[in-house]
Homo-oligomer: A and B are copies of this chain.
Amino acid sequence: MPQKRILPYVIMGILLNKDCTGKQIMDEFRFDIGEFWQSSHSQVYPELKRMEQDRWIESYSKEDNDKEIHYHLTAYGHEIINDWLMEPVDKLPVSKDLFSLKTFFINDRNDPRLERLFKHQIQLVSHSLNHLRKRQQALFSSQEQIDQQYGHYLILARAISRQENQLAWLEDKLNNR
């Protein structure tokens, strides 16, 4: 038995906001959810079909364009996703963090690979931070926008705080070696 299946809940969470096509769901993953969850279209499209069979969602197409299939949460789907959002999270995630892993194995504080690792990581984190801040400016520059999608605002702020913390830590340790 594999790990617990989360993808359908993610998809229903997305559909809480608005009806979507498969493409639009994938865009959500690419732009907003990618920071803390990821998937690929080869998982999403079959999942959408399964979910429709289970009556969690239903599909329709607009008159002028019967190519695009839009998906819509059913009342039953609403129940399911709302129940799921109620359940508290019961353990912290373990990210598979190659940076920590490699650092862990280097015992000598003067090993040149340590400096290399840190400098690369600083590049990565800076780049990510930049992107997150731009995203925050674009989406949440007004209080109204914040109130509209408060959860989204929160996790974006959280991601920024986390990366700021990591960057400060990296630079501190790099300088005080």
Residues of A near any B CB (own CB < 8 A):
6, 10, 13-14, 16-17, 32-38, 81, 84-86, 88-109, 113-114, 116-117, 120-121, 124-125, 128, 147-152, 154-155, 157-159, 161-162, 165-166, 169, 173
Tell whether A154 pairs with B103 under 8 Å between CB atoms, given A161-B169, A162-B165, A165-B165. yes
List B contacts of A13 (CB < 8 A).
Answer: 101-102, 104-105
Contact of A104 among B97, B104, B152, B166 (CB under 8 A): B152
List B contacts of A169 (CB < 8 A).
Answer: 157-158, 161
List B contacts of A99 (CB < 8 A).
Answer: 89, 93
- Smallest CB–CB gap between A13 and chain B, Å? 4
Tell whether A36 pairs with B101 under 8 Å between CB atoms, given A95-B93, A149-B107, A162-B165. yes
Q: How far is the CA of A90 from the CA of B159 in the complex (A)?
A: 19
- Smallest CB–CB gap between A63 and chain B, Å? 30
Tell whether A93 pairs with B98 under 8 Å between CB atoms, given A106-B150, A107-B151, A109-B150. yes
Q: How far is the CA of A85 from the CA of B154 in the complex (A)?
A: 36
